[in-house]
Amino acid sequence: MRYVFLRIGHLLVSDIKHADVLAVLKPVWFELPQTGSRLLQRMEAVFRSAILRGQRERASPCLGVTQELGRHNRGQRFRALPYAEVPAFLQSCVHATRGPAVNGWHSNG
């Protein structure tokens, strides 16, 4: 939570705005996506609790943050391999992990 306290730790929970939440998350959102997601999740829990306890009257400033910051890049996706090509693909994986075959036997298998 050090990211949160550095930016908004001095503010009352009732005074925190959407822009403050963005200021906390922008530096880590794409560089450390798991950290960014966890920070947002924990801040949402704090604001929900503050609303339930009457410490905050307005809606959570976390609303719409993911839409504004954008989605995390989770890596490249590949199309499914056609069923008929699966045996050859698996065979290429075996050769890639075991090294070249000599007379039908793998050198380190």
pLDDT (tens digit, 9 = 90+) per residue, 45-75? 999 999 999 999 889 999 999 999 987 666 6
pLDDT (tens digit, 9 = 90+) per residue, 77-98? 678 889 899 898 888 887 666 6
Question: How much is the pLDDT for 97?
Answer: 62
Q: What is the pTM of this model?
A: 0.64
Question: How much is the pLDDT for 74?
Answer: 60
pLDDT (tens digit, 9 = 90+) per residue, 25-47? 999 998 898 999 999 999 999 99
Q: Could you write out the three-class secondary structure of 27-75? A: CCCCCCHHHHHHHHHHHHHHHHHHHHCCCCCCCCCCCCHHHHHCCCCCC
Domain boundaries, the chain: 2-69
